[in-house]
Amino acid sequence: MAGRSASSRRCTPLYPNAARALRVPPDTDVVLASTSAFIKGIGVAEHTALVAYCHSPTRYLWDWSDRYLQEEVPAPLHGVVRDLMGRLRETDRVFAARVDRWIANSRVVAERIQRYYGRESEVVYPPVDVDSFRVEKDRGDFWLFVGRLSSYKRADVAVRAFNDLGMRLIVVGEGRERAALERVASENVVFTGRADDATVRDLLGSARGLVFPAEDDFGMVCAEALASGAPVVALAAGGAPEIVRPGEDGVLVSAPEARAFAEGVLEAERMTFDPTALRNGARRFDVSRFRERVRVIVDEANASPRRSREMDQDQDQEEE
């Protein structure tokens, strides 16, 4: 959706066939597919186990389908695109049925996998290299927003909240909404544009906290902020409630509104957070735990019976 280029959106109908055309060598034991769309349809042999690490079921086909039509598709094409999306949903379900084992990157994604695909999954949080982040003893005088400047990240909520607060906010990221945000931002709100990983780490390590108004599948930057010793003020939706423990790691805000986030920031400012404790709490997302659990799941999938690969067999016959 927002974040997908125009050329990428135009190619959407081709993605299922492109995925099916990818053929894994027949002597492969297990394929681990990182997916939020159609790569789970990759061609695998009958005896090959297919494990899907799911960042979300294809959002523009399912829970964001109406938003996709309104924001990305000209009104005269709504009917045609809606029909196309219906066909793509059926293909998405077929691809999902081929997966032997599902891994979800958060509980909210696990719920979507059950709702749209009718499949159980195990939650394994995305990996955070905790030791690559630094905790500065002296925090700066600013709060931080990190993310694409598009509607679903709700940077406008953060900007308007800090307009009211008068506190310094550094906005890291690029996107179609940047110009509009800069027009309404007060002098205390600074835009850096896109920043490399090292710069983001430095900012997280010295920020007073991170503000996160988006409803993300997980919210990786929230976990990275904690690894940097920075508390988080986040929307109580999506994956953020699985990261931010109110009173321990920061504040959860009930509504994506500027006033609510301003109050959340003030509440966090009144609290005392131990940066070392925040960092230690982030270790529940550490890369070592991710590797350990995914390895176990892959081994279990390899030792278990496979699901039907009828679709792949039909394709092989067509190619012959």
Instruction: Output the DSSP codes for 183-234.
Output: HH--TTEEEEES--HHHHHHHHHH-SEEEE----SS-HHHHHHHHTT--EEE
In 72-130, the DSSP E strands lie at 101-104, 122-123
pLDDT tens-digit map of 218-277:
999 999 999 999 999 999 999 999 999 999 999 999 999 999 999 999 999 999 999 999
pLDDT tens-digit map of 56-101:
998 888 877 677 667 777 787 777 777 888 899 999 999 999 999 9
Long-range CB contacts (within 8 A, 24+) of 243-251: 243/218, 243/219, 243/285, 245/281, 247/271, 248/277, 248/281, 249/273, 249/278, 249/281, 250/209, 250/210
pLDDT tens-digit map of 149-161:
998 899 999 999 9
Round to whole Å and give the CA distance between 198 and 22: 35
Q: What is the pLDDT of residue 249?
A: 95
For residue 307, name the pLDDT band (cuts at 50, 70, 90): confident
pLDDT tens-digit map of 179-195:
999 999 999 999 999 99
Q: What is the pLDDT of residue 284?
A: 96
Closest CA to 15 of 3, 29, 4: 4
Give the rounded percent of residues in the chain with a pLDDT score beyond 90: 74
Mean of per-residue pLDDT scores for the chain:
90
Q: What is the pLDDT of residue 316?
A: 43
* Spatial CB neighbours of 56, under 8 Å, sequence gap ≥ 6: 36, 105, 109, 112, 217
Span 277-290, average pLDDT: 96
**What domains are defined for the chain?**
6-127+289-305 (3.40.50), 130-284 (3.40.50.2000)
pLDDT at 13 over 90: no
Q: What is the pLDDT of residue 8?
A: 53
pLDDT at 215 over 50: yes
pTM: 0.87
**Residue 193 contacts residue 213 (beta carbons within 8 Å):** no
